[in-house]
Amino acid sequence: MFGIYLKRELGRRKKAALVIALGLALGIALVITVNSVSAGMTQAQDKVLKSLYGLGTDMTVTKARSAPTGNSSGRPNFEFDAKANDSDEEQSSDRVMTQGGQALKAALVAEVAEQDGVANAVGAITLNVTKVNGSFTQGKAQSTTGNSQSQGQGGPGGGSGGNSTAAPQVQGGGASFDVNSYSVAGVDVTDQTLGPLAGMEITSGKTFTAAQTDAKVAVLSKSYAKENKYKVGKTLKISGTKYTVIGIATASSSESTTDVYLPLKQAQTLADAKNQVTTIYVKATDSKQIDTVKSTIQKNISGTTVTTSADLADTVSGSLSTASDLATSVGKWLSIAVLAAAFLVAALLTSSAVSRRVREFGTLKALGWPSRRVTRQVVGESMVNGLLGGALGIGLGLAAAYAVTAISPKLTAQLGNAGGGGGMGGGPGGGGPGQQSTQNTMEIALSAPVSPTTIALAVGLAVTGGLIAGAMGGWRASRMRPADALRSVS
């Protein structure tokens, strides 16, 4: 009886049911869209962070770089010979500098690994190589000679005329130099599960073997190899040392911030930093205890800076950060406002529909229907409207999320770090001597993944909306008396 009556009444009031369902659908669709975009923002931010400190890394240990002492500015300097016999001969000079904070003793890696809550620790060194190459061209001194006729008395020599020689002038010459800067990471080849190379996927060639701890081999990022036309088997020269390219790697999550990867000992040799690292990558035994592990390391190993991924996330700026703020703040409150309005409209429309059914409900009560049965009937109709609105809302929300993913709007993510600071990973954004601040800029394609949790939330909202509308309408219907039906008869 309940189902038959429910079906008949909804069929009679299709327009009203559709309006209520559409109101709920718009609110639910907005909630799904905002939640999906927020999830996409989180994924995009994770891609930025993982590309900087590698997959599986929970925190890094660095040390802030101290200010230069004495007359040293800490800036790179280059010296070239410009002798006569070197004219037009190409000259080249590489300046290798550690980057991402003050160097730490390699022995600290083992000390960090022994701390409570630490599952693994790996050391790495980050370098910046500035290559300057070009040539000097020697100028030639030329003098001009010409006739001059004196008018009256001549010059100091007393002649009335003759030849005069002008002072020689240097013509031509100069210098033409090209400057190329790139980043180098020294990797502990015995454990590549953590560190700069952990987030990279070898697409050509192979990665380092555990035996290549001091081998003159290199792995290049795909973008750097393509730009400089390097292939597997080619030779890369850094500061006079030749390295054989054994592999080309691509970042598994986003763009790589490192151009060249070398065995740790080779990188230390280039930077004249034997038994030193700039960053210690740490993996915790329990991801929920990261803050506790951070406090333990800072307490037991003084003078170091421990940076977690949460700390690093606070430094991400650019359009990614702006869009994330909008999605999490403005989008959240807008969703709540629209959803509340949709619930209110559904409740008012249901209550209004009940008011127009005075004769119907009064007659049913006169026939013996108790108030709870009338209330149940109204709530049942509202629940169907709510579920219909939920289905429409899920469809609209999925369509909106799919549209965002299909368009894939590009967002920029900038991770800045003050010079001398120990940023996560100590990568190119870590700042070097003489730099006030540097930034890594990445371009991320935004997606809007819809999780089962979001769908479950939408269903819950649909049921809630139906219950709210049904409760208000049912309360109104339960207060009607059979006499109300008689008064409504004209």
Chain segment 104-148, per-residue pLDDT in tens: 898 999 999 999 999 999 999 999 888 877 666 666 766 665 554
148, exposed or middle or buried, with CB in 10 Å at 0-12, 13-18, 19+? Answer: exposed
292 with 344, same domain: the answer is no
Quick check: 479 pLDDT over 90?
no
Structure tokens at 201: 């996927």
Q: Is the pLDDT of residue 466 over 50?
A: yes
Per-residue confidence (pLDDT) for residue 242, from 0 to 100: 93
Closest CA to 206 of 233, 236, 182: 233
Q: Which two tokens stand for residue 305?
A: 């800076």
Cβ-count burial 265-303 (b if 16+ within 10 Å, e if not): bbbbbbbebeebbbbbbbbbeeeeebeebbebbeeebee
Task: Please report whether residue 183 resides in a domain.
Answer: yes
In whole angstroms, give the CA distance from residue 23 to residue 21: 5
Asked if residue 242 and residue 101 are part of one domain, the reply reads yes
Q: What CA–CA distance (Å, rounded) separates 203 from 369?
A: 74
Tell me, what DSSP letter sits at residue 167? P
Contact by Cβ (8 Å): 15, 382: no
Q: Give kind and range of the element (H or E) at residue 135.
A: strand 118-137
Going by their DSSP bridges, the two strands 437-445 and 410-418 should be labelled as antiparallel
One domain, residues 339 and 293 = no
Instruction: List, for residues 137-187, the tens digit of each pLDDT value.
Output: 666 766 665 554 444 444 444 444 555 566 677 666 666 667 778 899 999
Q: Give the integer Cα–Cα distance in Å for 167 and 156.
A: 18
Q: Which residue has the higher pLDDT, 294 or 166?
A: 294
At 328-366, the pLDDT tens digits run 666 677 777 777 887 887 777 777 777 767 677 777 777
Percent residues over pLDDT 90 in the chain? 19
Residue 193 within a domain: yes
Task: Classify residue 351: in a domain, yes or no.
Answer: yes
- pLDDT value at residue 433: 31
Q: Same structural domain for residues 202 and 329?
A: no
Buried b (16+ CB within 10 A) or exposed e, 217-255: bbbbbbebbeeeebeeeeebebeeeebebbbbbebebbb
Percent of the chain surpassing pLDDT 70: 63
Residues 423 and 474 in one domain: yes
Q: Is residue 219 part of a domain?
A: yes
* Residue 95: predicted pLDDT: 81
Is residue 404's pLDDT more than 80?
yes
The whole-chain average pLDDT of the chain stands at 75
Per-residue pLDDT of 10-37, as tens digits, reads 666 777 778 878 888 888 888 888 888 8
Q: Can you give the pLDDT at residue 428?
A: 36
Residues 192 and 299 in one domain: yes
Q: Is the dihedral of CA 376, 377, 380, 386 positive or negative?
A: negative
The last residue of a domain, from among 241, 270, 303: 303
Whole-prediction pTM: 0.56
The number of distinct structural domains making up the chain is 2
358 and 462 part of one domain: yes
CB 443 within 8 A of CB 410: yes
Distance set, CA 429 to CA 113, 246, 259, 280 (Å) = 25, 26, 13, 16
* Same domain, yes or no: 418 and 333: yes
The per-residue pLDDT for 60 is 87
- Assess contact for 469 and 349: CB atoms under 8 A: yes
pLDDT at 424 over 50: no
Are residues 288 and 324 located together in one domain of the fold? no
> 178 versus 408: which is more confidently predicted?
408
**Is 391 within 8 Å of 415 (Cβ atoms)?**
no
Q: Where a domain ends, among 249, 269, 303? A: 303
Angle at 320 between CA 318 and CA 323, to 5 degrees: 110
Q: Which of 113-117, 129-133, 289-293, 320-324 has the weakest average pLDDT?
A: 320-324
The predicted pLDDT at position 196 comes to 85
Any domain includes 82: no
Is 153 within a domain?
A: no
The residues, ordered by sequence, that sit 6+ positions from 417 with a Cβ below 8 Å of its Cβ are 315, 423, 429, 430, 431, 437, 438, 439
Please check whether residues 283 and 381 belong to one and the same domain: no
Looking at residue 204, its pLDDT comes to 93
Residue 97's CB is within 10 A of a number of other CB atoms, namely 16
What domain range includes position 193?
Answer: 64-68+89-133+177-303
Shared domain check, 359 and 239: no
Which of 93-102, 208-217, 298-307, 383-392: highest mean pLDDT? Answer: 208-217
Q: What is the CA radius of gyration of the chain?
A: 37
- Residue 207 domain-assigned? yes
Could you give the 3-state DSSP secondary structure of residue 276?
strand
pLDDT mean over 275-281 = 91
Same domain assignment for residues 122 and 261 = yes
Above 50 in pLDDT, residue 420? Answer: no
| Cα separation of the two ends of the chain | 29
CA 68 to chain centre: 32
Instruction: Write down which residue in 303, 334, 349 finishes a domain.
Output: 303
pLDDT surpasses 90 at 260: yes
**105-109, 146-150, 204-208, 470-474: the lowest-pLDDT one:** 146-150
Angle, helix 14-53 to helix 452-478, in steps of 10 degrees: 150
DSSP 140: E
Residue 418 lies in a domain: yes
Q: Which two tokens stand for residue 389?
A: 């609105």
